[in-house]
């Protein structure tokens, strides 16, 4: 299995542990060389410069092991005690040596383990380390103690000391690289072995890298673009400076170039190199700034979209509340007139009927828009007579036109035209366009409805003389919840969005056209033309009237059940009513009806279970089962058909739709057996 990629911080700590072990091993090698009188080990196999002294080896072993132990400080307390003790030993060795250099005293600490003949290179006293190494060991030991603190300020001070201890060995290393003996062989001031300088640099670097959460190491160890850039710049600066300096100094010592040329060339190279670094860094920063600016703009646009969506939601909810309350007021007033004179009662029934129809249309539009959004609309496509669709749409909006005192002109096509469409949805499209035209057209205004042939397409046109549209608004007139123009015109702002969705489901297009404000508007729906229904093998509906049926109505809402019973009985059917599923099951088994209208939400057990039990009983298996329910989603219809229903009708059901289903001569679909 592929392991997770280490972070830069993890790799830095790993390198710190490796460096600590190398420093520890180097110290042991030096001490062993002195104890066993192997001079090559005291030089650590470097054949030039001063050798490494005994106490230097002890200090390296102590500091390296101290750093390694403190890097595991979170695992066990003994590691911390060991690290502290070894760090103090390192400080004591370096500190006492500095005292010797400063006072001229001999504290007898330099040759405790091994003696050295007087006069060794860069040594003021036999086997005594030089001041640079002593200072570096004191700083390294102190940094180890301070970095182990829990306080950020103390750890920052320890990190600073570790950085200073990194700079101390760099001076002699520059001298060794460029051949400047003054930087490493003056016994009282700069005397230090090459191996000692390298090991001190490794030790100090390991201390810094072991704490990637502090200071300069924190910048270098970041996993983002800033960390990558910082590491690249740091490595390039070090390598470029040392590389160019070594090359030119070597050329100078070989007398290939003189000093002035070497200095001039190094200056030019460094200026060019650092200029390139600055350009590269600036480019990367500029790109990062541009990316952040683009992200900021995207976030601002997203925030603005969210704010706009919130404003639309608030406006929609306010409009929805208004549109739902509007029809409730006349319904409430009309209820008081039902018990009055006959002419008042009749008018009240008409008012209630119109307002209920309005509420049903609102709910249906919302549900249709939801179905379109989730791609759950199922069209019943067949050849539709364009003339018939135009007439039905005009009849459906006659009340709106009359109430608004508009003049509606219907222009029927001169020849018979057919489109392949869902007839109910096609009429719904035209009705929504006509209703929209009526809302935005003042009294006495003109509304025109028509259709004609344009190539292989049939184009439906709804034109009005109303408020018109600004050219800038034509692109968003079909957006959801958008209501253009000044003042309130009623509706939820979803009618045209619903039109667009339904037209596109039919494979057609819809467009809006207007010359501007107060110039009226025209909406054009384009659908592919097809052949008449009779040429496609479709059978016209039979107009034969069916005999009265025996019907069982099951609904726990007594008012709804009794009202439906009265309506069906008035048409000659024999109707019984049950308000519980168990009661309905007993009635059906004792005297099986031909048709059962079942609500699904019943108090004892639901209508789906009732339908399954009726299908399982041979006495009632052949009856026509129709679900009449408030659950109207596609999933609800699927579950009803799976339970054994022949049809699914959503409340409030149209009486004509129920009568058409009841009058069907045969069951509408074979029952689906219950599972289990």
- How far apart are alpha carbons 253 and 644 in whole angstroms? 103
Inform me whether the pLDDT recorded for 5 exceeds 80.
Answer: no
pLDDT of residue 575: 93
Q: Is 55 exposed, middle or buried (0-12, 13-18, 19+ CB in 10 A)?
A: buried
Q: Which long-range contacts (CB under 8 A, 24 or more apart) does 249-252 make?
A: 249/177, 249/178, 249/179
Inform me whether the pLDDT recorded for 25 exceeds 90.
Answer: yes
- Domains in the chain, CATH or no CATH each: 8-222 (no CATH), 380-536 (3.30.565.10), 550-662 (3.40.50.2300)
Do 138 and 157 touch, CB atoms closer than 8 A?
no
Considering the entire predicted model, what is its pTM?
Answer: 0.48
Q: What angle do CA 327, 329, 331 make, to 5 degrees?
A: 70
- How far apart are alpha carbons 332 and 395 in whole angstroms? 27
Average pLDDT over residues 127-131: 90
Residue 521 to residues 361, 448, 449, 511, Cα–Cα distance (Å): 24, 11, 12, 11
Average pLDDT over residues 45-55: 84
Per-residue pLDDT band at 156 (split at 50, 70, 90): very high
Query: What is the average pLDDT score of the chain?
Result: 83
**116-125, 137-146, 203-212: least confident range:** 116-125
**84-88, 263-267, 313-317, 439-443: least confident range:** 313-317
Per-residue pLDDT band at 671 (split at 50, 70, 90): very low
- How far apart are alpha carbons 89 and 59 in whole angstroms? 7
Average pLDDT over residues 406-422: 89
CA diameter of the chain: 136
Residue 393 to residues 397, 399, 424, 433, 652, Cα–Cα distance (Å): 7, 12, 10, 10, 21
553 - beta bridge partners?
577, 597
pLDDT of residue 667: 46
In this structure, what DSSP letter does residue 579 have? S
72 vs 22, residue with greater confidence: 22
Per-residue pLDDT band at 317 (split at 50, 70, 90): low
Q: Is 186 helix (H, G, I), strand (E, B) or coil?
A: coil
Do 668 and 610 touch, CB atoms closer than 8 A?
no
Place of tokens 């609904």: 555
- Peptide bond preceding 652: is omega within 30 degrees of 0, i.e. cis? yes
102 vs 631, residue with greater confidence: 102
Look up residue 47 and give its two tokens.
Answer: 């054949």
Do 674 and 625 touch, CB atoms closer than 8 A?
no
Look up residue 222 and give its two tokens.
Answer: 């970041």
Do β-strands 509-513 and 550-554 pair in parallel, antiparallel, or remain unpaired?
unpaired
Do β-strands 418-421 and 382-385 pair in parallel, antiparallel, or remain unpaired?
antiparallel
**Rounded (10°) CA dihedral 572, 661, 374, 381:** -130
Per-residue pLDDT band at 88 (split at 50, 70, 90): very high
Do 13 and 74 touch, CB atoms closer than 8 A?
no
416 vs 17, residue with greater confidence: 17
- The end-to-end CA distance of the chain, in Å, is 44
The CB density around residue 37, as the number of other CB atoms within 10 Å, is: 9
For the chain, the C-alpha Rg in angstroms (whole number) is 47
pLDDT digit string, tens, across residues 468-511: 887 777 777 777 656 655 444 455 567 788 888 889 989 999 99
**181-185, 237-241, 311-315: least confident range:** 311-315
pLDDT digit string, tens, across residues 337-389: 777 777 778 888 888 887 787 777 777 767 766 766 666 677 888 888 999 99
């Amino acid at each position: 299995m592929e392991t997770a990629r280490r972070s830069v911080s993890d790799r830095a700590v790993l390198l710190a542990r490796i460096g600590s072990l190398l420093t520890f091993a180097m110290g042991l090698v030096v001490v062993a060389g002195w104890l066993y009188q192997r001079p090559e080990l005291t030089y650590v196999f470097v054949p030039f410069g001063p050798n490494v002294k005994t106490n230097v080896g002890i200090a390296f072993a102590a500091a390296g092991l101290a750093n390694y132990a403190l890097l595991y400080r979170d695992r066990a307390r003994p590691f911390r005690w060991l690290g502290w003790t070894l760090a103090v030993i390192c400080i004591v060795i370096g500190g006492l040596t500095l005292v010797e250099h400063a006072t001229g005293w001999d504290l007898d600490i330099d040759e405790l383990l091994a003696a050295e003949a007087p006069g060794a290179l860069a040594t003021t006293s036999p086997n005594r380390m030089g001041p640079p190494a002593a200072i570096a060991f004191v700083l390294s030991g102190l940094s180890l103690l301070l970095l182990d603190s829990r306080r950020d300020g103390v750890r920052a001070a320890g990190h600073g000391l570790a950085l200073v201890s990194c700079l101390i060995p760099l001076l002699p290393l520059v001298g060794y690289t460029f051949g400047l003996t003054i930087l490493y062989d003056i016994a009282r001031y700069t005397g230090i072995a090459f191996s000692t300088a390298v090991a001190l640099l490794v030790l100090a670097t390991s201390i810094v890298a072991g704490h990637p959460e502090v200071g300069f190491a924190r910048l270098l160890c970041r996993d983002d673009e800033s960390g990558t850039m910082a590491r690249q710049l740091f490595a390039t600066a070090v390598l470029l400076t040392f590389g160019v300096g070594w090359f030119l100094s070597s050329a100078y010592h070989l007398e290939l170039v003189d000093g002035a040329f070497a200095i001039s060339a190094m200056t030019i190279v460094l200026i060019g190199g650092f200029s390139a670094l600055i350009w590269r860094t600036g480019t990367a920063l500029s790109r990062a700034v541009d990316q952040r600016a683009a992200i900021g703009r995207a976030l601002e646009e997203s925030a603005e979209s969210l704010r706009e969506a919130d404003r639309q939601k608030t406006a929609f909810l306010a409009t929805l509340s208004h549109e739902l309350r509007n029809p409730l007021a006349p319904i409430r007033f009309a209820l008081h007139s039902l018990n009055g004179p006959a002419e008042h009662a009749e008018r009240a029934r008409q008012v209630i009927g119109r307002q209920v129809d309005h509420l049903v249309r609102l709910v249906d539009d919302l549900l249709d828009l939801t179905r379109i959004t989730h791609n759950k609309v199922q069209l019943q496509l067949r050849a539709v007579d364009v003339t018939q669709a135009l007439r039905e749409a005009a009849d459906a909006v006659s009340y709106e036109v009359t109430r608004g005192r508009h003049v509606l002109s219907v222009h029927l096509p001169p020849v018979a035209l057919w489109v392949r469409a869902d007839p109910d949805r096609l009429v719904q499209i035209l009705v929504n366009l006509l209703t929209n035209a009526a809302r935005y057209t003042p009294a006495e205004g003109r509304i025109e409805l028509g259709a004609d042939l344009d190539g292989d397409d049939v184009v439906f046109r709804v034109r009005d003389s109303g408020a018109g549209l600004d050219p800038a608004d034509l692109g968003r007139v079909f957006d959801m919840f958008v209501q253009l123009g000044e003042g309130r015109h009623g509706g939820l702002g979803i009618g045209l969005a619903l039109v667009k969705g339904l037209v596109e489901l039919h494979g057609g297009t819809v467009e809006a056209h207007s010359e501007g404000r107060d110039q009226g508007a025209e909406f054009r729906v384009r659908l592919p033309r097809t052949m008449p229904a009779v040429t496609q093998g479709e059978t016209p509906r039979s107009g034969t009237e069916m005999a009265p049926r025996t019907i069982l109505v099951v609904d726990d809402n007594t008012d709804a059940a009794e009202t439906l019973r009265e309506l069906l009985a008035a048409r000659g059917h024999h109707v019984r009513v049950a308000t519980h599923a168990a009661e309905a099951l007993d009635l059906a088994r004792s005297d099986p009806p031909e048709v059962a209208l079942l609500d699904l939400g019943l108090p004892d057990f639901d209508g789906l279970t009732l339908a399954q039990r009726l299908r399982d009983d041979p006495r009632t298996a052949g009856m026509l089962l129709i679900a009449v329910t408030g659950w109207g989603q596609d999933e609800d219809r699927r579950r009803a058909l799976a339970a054994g229903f022949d049809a699914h009708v959503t409340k409030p059901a149209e009486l004509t739709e129920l009568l058409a289903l009841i009058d069907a001569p045969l069951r509408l679909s074979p029952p689906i057996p219950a599972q289990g």
